[in-house]
Chain A
Amino acid sequence: MTQDEDADSVFLAEAAELQAGIERNLLDLAEAPDNRDLIDALFRDLHTLKGSGAMFGHVELAHFLHGFETAFEALREPGGTASDPLIRVALQACDQIGALLENPSAASPGNTPILDRLAAALDKTPGDAPESLAEVGWRIDFALGPDALGLGTNVPALLSELEALAPGHVRVNCDLSGLPPLETLNPLAPQMSWTVVVAAPVSREAIDEVFLFVRDDLTLTVEPFGQEAAATTVDTAPDSATARPERRGAAEHATMRVATTRLDEIMDRVGELVIAESRLHDLSQTLRDATLMAVAEDIRRLASGMRETTMSIRMVPIGNLFGRFRRLVHDLSEQLGKPMECACSGGETELDKTVIEVLTDPLVHILRNAADHGLENGEARAAAGKPHSGTISLSAAHAGAEVHIRIHDDGRGLDDERLRNRAIERDLLPPGSTVSGPDLYRLIFEPGFSTATTVTELSGRGVGMDVVRSAIQSLRGQIDVDSEPGHGTTVTLRLPLTLAIADGLLVDVGGERYSIPVSAVEECVELPHDLISGSGRSSFLDIRGELVPFLRLADVFETPGPRSEFQKVVIVAGLNGRVGLVVDRIVSNAQTVIKQLSRVHAGVKAFSGATILGDGKVALILDVGHLISLGRTLEDRMRIQQGAA
């Protein structure tokens, strides 16, 4: 029972991948409508999905896919091209595959209309092979090799796949003459052969694909009968039939599916290993025993190798996500009636899988905004002398320990004047403010901020963008917005490679140690003498002519310990500004394995997590965003006081 369930979940995972592949190929096909390789790849995926679907009891799905294949058959004929309407229906069919995967048992009323439309788009009725061609077909002789049954060849499945090629037009004949008497029969060494006659004009490739995975284990001859079939299909067969098996085989051995929870467990163990290793390292440094130090050095090397390998397992190329967005842009284009294209680059850039998961929603919001507000409609574009079709480009690239994801549209750009007015209206800027550029654009991520005059189904409610900000903040990332009037807007997301490990600046506040994410640290300065004696929670620091509020962490955290004579200020910057944090000492710069705080501490906003130090003690990781907003409230208070004075 559980084995069946396991098998089914493996099938579903594979099917989802195949479905994504089909979608991707369809979208590619929209751009290159007569690309043979794409059409072939499409058929391969459809066929594999149909085969494994039938094998795992997804009858409805197999049936639907068969119709899909048949309807698409016209594309394979010489000169067949994929028209736009065809791609549109095919994408719907692709969605229907998803629906059937989710709910295999339900009768799906959507199947037939989609297949009909598909056929209409191709100008061909699905399923019906013209009567006159029934004479034409294939005679297939095959006998199993000695190991075939031991290796799991399933003859009934092969036969039913052949049957599925041309339901009602397949005759099977089994030759039992080679069978020895029962007492000498070896059930694993079959001595039977089959003759199958497929009396329908199916392609040679379709037959080869049935035997794709078992070719090496059996002797197979496929002969056409009827002249036309011999002439048109045999020529194309050899290269595609021989090239494929090895490639498939290699891919199957190269990968393996593992539950993500197991990966998470490994990551936790590795995290602990890294901590234990650094304790060992500290110990060996204290004891100064040469043998111990040598072992500690070895363990350090192994642990860091282990960590890198484990991290790499969790890395996923962002291209999978991009594939989904191409579909989104395609759909948005129709929904909004604006011509637009999606250009993706850097899909091979890898990111931690948890980062990718969290990233999906924010990217959808940004794309929708770009499509709805950024891009103009066809007439406006023509008037501005731009290409008829708008372009949204998505790109990803590594930059040091960060990944930069850029979403650019070539639309009208942000309107500084309107943004400023809206910000003043919302009390986000003081009246008469002249803020411009990135500082102004940052405000679009404030809750409830939307300059759209009309609220559409897609955007304009001002909800999306602050969701973007909080998601990116939770990933410890940054957002930059840049815009050029008339030429478009660029949103750049800067994200850490992984969430599990980060560089931390370890500081000492009254004898307690805290970790500050290095990615947020701008610089460290001495606290000027005249400010050391000051008490209270905050004041301002002059950083090259700019006033930066600073917080005395010892006061914010009510630390009982003694204060250092030479205090330092760590300037941190986030999405919402910057603030100086006064500490007693900067201890070190170290890699930290981040542990989430439990629900019990959910109400404590000043910390984003905790980490375990080399000596086994726990250190809290400061939440830079929260401290900056603390600093900002102080700044506001001062501004009000100044205004009053």
Chain B
Amino acid sequence: MQVVTLTLSGETLAVPTRNLREILEPVPVTRVPRAGRFAFGLINVRGAVIPLTDLRVALGMTRAEPDEHTRMLVLDVPVAGEQTTVAVIADRVLDVTEIDDAALGDIPEVGMKWPPEFLSGIARTDAGFVILPDLERIYAASLGTASGTPQYDKEI
């Protein structure tokens, strides 16, 4: 599986390139009031209005100030059964690489700092552990909450 790797709060995440549309330098963001911290803004991608989301909120990570490495990744994700274009923030985009399915490990039930429901797998690579977020589930969960912030069942 070909993935693009990126960092968020010091962790390395991987997103399949088949979901990836493009990588942007940061563009002006319009805040969406009352939308919660996850789907917090809107951006203009060549005339289309795209929601900008922050995976750190879903994965319970701390938020960093944007710097010169910050990027926006435009992704196509099925949201409630409908292909939707969304953008996510990355602290830094690292590489496009291949992850061997055999290198994909199961998610340990305990000892995880991230909600396991929102991960589709963890891979061990030369550069260390890489987290694969379950984008479909994260966006589906964000629809069901009043604030638009994904909640996983165990916390409720």
Task: List residues of chain A with CB under 8 Å of any chain B CB.
Answer: 268, 271-272, 275-276, 512, 556-559, 595, 597-604, 606-607, 610-612, 616-620
Contact = CB atoms under 8 A, between A and B. Distances in A.
Contact of B50 (A559, A598, A604): A598
B28 A599 contact: no
Interface residues of B, number: 31
Q: List the 8 shortest-distance A-B pairs measured between CB atoms, nearest first.
A: A272-B47, A557-B33, A618-B30, A595-B49, A600-B51, A618-B42, A610-B49, A600-B39
B53 to A, nearest CB: 7
Contact of A602 (B43, B48, B143, B147): B143
B42 A610 contact: yes
Interface in B72-86: 79-80, 82, 84-86
A603 B44 CA distance: 20
B24 interface: no
A272 B30 CA distance: 18
Nearest to B147: A603
B148 A616 contact: no
A559 B32 CA distance: 10
Interface of B: 28, 30-35, 39, 42-44, 46-51, 53, 79-80, 82, 84-86, 139, 142-143, 145-148
A595 B51 CA distance: 12
Nearest to A559: B33
A597 B143 contact: no
13 contacts: A275-B47, A512-B30, A595-B49, A598-B86, A599-B80, A600-B51, A600-B143, A601-B39, A603-B148, A604-B32, A612-B47, A612-B49, A620-B33
A56 B40 CA distance: 54
B30 A601 contact: no
A271 B32 CA distance: 22
A88 B65 CA distance: 73
A617 B139 CA distance: 24
A380 to B, nearest CB: 51
Nearest to B38: A600
B136 to A, nearest CB: 12
Given A603-B145, A618-B49, A557 B34 contact: yes
B44 A601 contact: no
Given A557-B34, A617-B30, A619-B30, A603 B47 contact: no
Contact of A604 (B30, B35, B53): B35
Given A271-B47, A275-B47, A616-B44, A603 B30 contact: no
A616 to B, nearest CB: 6
Contacts of A612: 44, 47, 49
B32 A607 contact: yes
Contact of B84 (A276, A557, A598): A598
A618 B44 contact: yes
A599 B84 contact: yes
Contacts of A610: 30, 42, 49
Given A556-B33, A558-B33, 14 more contacts: A268-B47, A512-B31, A558-B34, A597-B49, A599-B79, A599-B84, A601-B39, A601-B42, A603-B145, A606-B34, A616-B44, A617-B44, A618-B49, A620-B33
A558 B32 CA distance: 10
B38 to A, nearest CB: 9
A603 to B, nearest CB: 5
Given A599-B80, A600-B139, A618 B43 contact: yes
B63 to A, nearest CB: 16
Given A272-B46, A612-B47, A618-B42, A600 B53 contact: yes
Nearest to A273: B47
B34 A604 contact: yes
A607 B33 CA distance: 9
A606 B33 CA distance: 9
B51 A601 contact: yes
A616 B49 CA distance: 10
B137 to A, nearest CB: 14
A398 to B, nearest CB: 30
A585 B98 CA distance: 53
A522 to B, nearest CB: 24
Contacts of A604: 32, 34-35, 148
A601 B148 contact: yes
A644 B139 CA distance: 46
Contact of B28 (A271, A558, A600, A617): A617
Q: Which of A556, A559, A601 has the most CB of B within 10 A?
A: A601
A254 B82 CA distance: 38
Given A512-B31, A618-B30, A618-B42, A600 B142 contact: yes
Contacts of A559: 33
Contacts of A272: 46-47
